[in-house]
Amino acid sequence: MINATKKWIFLKISGATLVPLMLWFIINLINFYDQGYYGVVNFFTNSSSKFLFSIFIINAYFFSALSISEVFEDYIANDKIKNVANKLLYVSAVVIPLITIILITKL
């Protein structure tokens, strides 16, 4: 399979799974918005919330990295700069969710 086809399929799958996760998070955000700090802590101490939020963060960064790499492919002409930008993007798409998940699991 061609790389562009794989990327397109991953974009569609991650976008489709991102929608229900985003709805879940928005509904819960509305629920604990007025509760303050302790409401947020209670939300993130629940193991199912931790798991779903972790999946949401991983999926969101995966989707955004794929989308932004397409912009790099289209608008950066220099191959060296394009490769460095893509590598930095993919590293940040792994490191940032990993740090977020580690910090959430320590709650």
Is residue 35 within a helix (H) or strand (E), and if so which, with residue range? none
CA separation for the pair 84, 79 (Å, rounded): 9
Is residue 76 within a helix (H) or strand (E), and if so which, with residue range? none
CA separation for the pair 97, 10 (Å, rounded): 18
Contact 18, 60 (CB under 8 A): yes
Q: What is the pTM of this model?
A: 0.85
CA separation for the pair 26, 7 (Å, rounded): 27
- One digit per residue, pLDDT tens: the chain, 107 residues? 788 888 889 999 999 999 999 999 999 988 887 888 888 888 888 899 999 999 999 999 999 999 999 999 899 999 999 999 999 999 999 999 999 999 988 87
pLDDT of residue 4: 81
pLDDT of residue 14: 94
Tokens representing residue 12 in the block:
């569609």
Contact 61, 95 (CB under 8 A): no
**CATH number for position 45:** 1.20.1300.10
Contact 68, 89 (CB under 8 A): yes
Determine the structural domain holding residue 64 and report its residue range: 3-105
Amino acid at 82: K
Total domains in the fold of the chain: 1
pLDDT of residue 105: 86
pLDDT of residue 33: 78
pLDDT of residue 96: 94
